[in-house]
Structure 1
Amino acid sequence: MGTKKISILILGAILTITALGGCVSSKTTTATKNNTSVKKQVVKIGITGDDHNVWDKVKVTLAKENIDLQLVNFADYIRPNMALSDGDIDLNSFQHYAYLNKFKKDHKLQLTAIGETVFAPLGIYSKTLKSIKDIKDGAKLAIPNDATNEGRGLNLLQSAGLITLKTGAGNLPTLKDITKNPKNIKFIELVATQIPRSLEDVDVAIINSGVAIDAKFNPVKDSIFLEKASGDKTKPYINVIVTREKDKDNVLYKKVIKAYQTDEIKAFIKEFYKGAEIPVF
């Protein structure tokens, strides 16, 4: 084979490899339909816990628009925001406004909410007690150790009449803001996702709705006291879909919001969760 022919073959191989390389993208996949190639746009969304029933339905809707929504599961409340900021995922959906605002301030992240989903009421749970009236002097109570959920939990305890907080403590009170604790409750601070497993070792526990559902609890039936939606006080605890600030107007991500905020999804949430999660769109 002549030198000229070899050169042409090598050049052709390089061009072929280059062309193939150009088809690979973190934002697109290629599927075949009716013997034709169909490019799908990929959106990676971070979630926590094992419950993704709603997102499975959203995936089906988006697939009809050639959008491949990929769920990326995280075991804690820290990594989903860090992964989003680093560009490892495109969106996340696991947190409320209060948590997002504090987290991005503490970590200096450029993140923003672009859509609202549900209000998930916080609850007080017990393996042994049937009512908060049964809580005895010196009871051990597990409470989330992150600032926003701990503050929310303390406000819940105040509304249940178990403690009194300092006037003006706001949405983020700490244990130091407790001015009255008539039952001498002993607080045990734990990572929110670990609290259900602590129920064997404590008398009562404050558990996020999503975490409770993952632990096979029904917040409406199994809690001994449940947070109520109450207008402006509810707003900080509405769950949101989040992206990077630079991507807040991304047309593709807006399609994800639109696919979530439908009458079909709203009806499913009401039927499936029966008050454990309340749609707000």
Structure 2
Amino acid sequence: MKKKILSAVLAAALAVGAFAGCGAAKGKDSKSDGTNARTTLKVAASATPHAEILEHVKSELAKEGVDLQVKEFSDYVQPNNVVESGDFDANYFQHVVYLDNFNQEKGTHLVDAGKIHYEPFGIYAGTKKQLSELTEGDTIAVPNDTTNEARALLLLQEQGLITLKEGAGIKATVQDITANPKNLKIQELEAAQVSRVKGEVAFVVLNGNYAKQAGLDPSKDPIAVEKNDGEAAKNYVNVIAVKDGRQNDEAIQKLVKILKSDETKKWITEKYGQSVIPYAGQ
């Protein structure tokens, strides 16, 4: 009987020791609070070039313990809504001016966590090939969201097609046009729809990412583009946006650091040429 009791005690001790050993092994793959050491980062993005750039840095970010999940969106509203709601950790699709305007209009609390790249706006051929071919009453399609419409109108002004009210700047709308020698019709459309009417209008004014989605080459196809060393680059740099309070999260900072690395900048330049320009500032 004593031998049986002793055997039972030894078996129990071995079982406890084995259980404790399993717990110690688990701790090597976990944080001190018992949670998994790896972090999942969900980012909403436009397809081109944003999602493509994010896909490129996935493996490098994984080495830093961050599993990047990218979901593509085709509009300019939902990517901000899902970050505001907390369903996503960040988004990558918009420039600073649009972000600020969205916050003002929607009451959201999104902030710039890192400035990544700049995409020159361009005028692309529709039914006509050169601006010199424009005639009385021709139509030019532009994005209808506040900031991108202003950007398109400023570019049309740079080309001498219209004149805007002094000081209209990045808040310009069609109501600010003070001179329109050819009585051009400005067709305002949701940004993703502009390229789809290029067979119906004289010209379209597009963001670089939507131009690429339409099969156009923003480095070769535009009739005219913004200057890449002017105010546009400062106002329209594309950013990683997060809900206020999360800009210093470790995973977010790791993502921004890799996106701004020399290796990523080189990859962006080689892949996109002058259509997507890495931001040089901080």
| TM-score band w.r.t. shorter chain | 0.7 to 0.9
The aligned counterpart of 1:85 is 84
Question: Does residue 1:48 correspond to 2:46, yes or no?
Answer: yes
Cα shift at 1:128: 3.4
Further displaced range: 86-95 or 130-139: 130-139
Question: Does residue 1:150 correspond to 2:149, yes or no?
Answer: yes
In structure 2, give the amino acid aligned to 1:255.
K
The aligned counterpart of 2:71 is 72
Counterpart CA distance in 1 for 2:47 and 2:200 is 22
Deviations 1:107-159 (A, max 9, x none): 11111001011110111111333321222221111110100000111101000
Secondary structure at the residue paired with 2:220? helix
- List runs of 5+ in structure 2 lacking aligned partners: 1-28, 30-35
Equivalent residues of 1:140, 1:185 under 8 A apart: yes
TM-score by length of 1: 0.84
Cα shift at 1:233: 4.1
The aligned counterpart of 2:191 is 192
Equivalent residues of 1:138, 1:185 under 8 A apart: yes
Equivalent residues of 1:42, 1:70 under 8 A apart: yes
Cα shift at 1:53: 2.5
Counterpart CA distance in 1 for 2:149 and 2:243 is 26
In structure 1, give the amino acid aligned to 2:171.
L
Identity %: 39
Further displaced range: 150-159 or 45-54: 45-54
Q: How does 1:11-50 map to 2 (within 5 A)?
A: 39-50=37-48
Q: Which is strand-richer, 1 or 2?
A: 1
Counterpart CA distance in 2 for 1:197 and 1:231 is 29
Counterpart CA distance in 1 for 2:144 and 2:231 is 24
Secondary structure at the residue paired with 1:252? helix
Structure 1 residue ranges (4+ consecutive) displaced by more than 6 angstroms after TM superposition: none
Q: How does 1:138-177 map to 2 (within 5 A)?
A: 138-177=137-176
Deviations 1:152-183 (A, max 9, x none): 11101000110000011121101010000011
Question: Does residue 1:261 correspond to 2:229, yes or no?
Answer: no
Further displaced range: 92-101 or 212-221: 212-221
Cα shift at 1:39: 4.8
TM-score by length of 2: 0.84
In structure 1, give the amino acid aligned to 2:44.
G
Equivalent residues of 2:122, 2:205 under 8 A apart: yes
The aligned counterpart of 1:3 is none
The aligned counterpart of 1:7 is none
The aligned counterpart of 1:15 is none
In structure 2, give the amino acid aligned to 1:141.
I
Counterpart CA distance in 2 for 1:81 and 1:254 is 19
Further displaced range: 44-53 or 158-167: 44-53
Aligned residues, how many?
A: 246
The aligned counterpart of 1:16 is none
Counterpart CA distance in 2 for 1:123 and 1:169 is 20
In structure 2, give the amino acid aligned to 1:121.
P
Secondary structure at the residue paired with 1:240? strand
Equivalent residues of 1:220, 1:226 under 8 A apart: no
- Residue 129 to residue 231, structure 1, CA distance change in 2 (3 Å): same
Equivalent residues of 1:131, 1:225 under 8 A apart: no
The aligned counterpart of 2:116 is 117
Equivalent residues of 1:132, 1:225 under 8 A apart: no
Secondary structure at the residue paired with 1:221? coil
Q: Which is helix-richer, 1 or 2?
A: 2
The aligned counterpart of 1:21 is none
Secondary structure at the residue paired with 1:189? strand
In structure 2, give the amino acid aligned to 1:47.
A
Give the greater-gyration-radius structure (CA).
Answer: 2
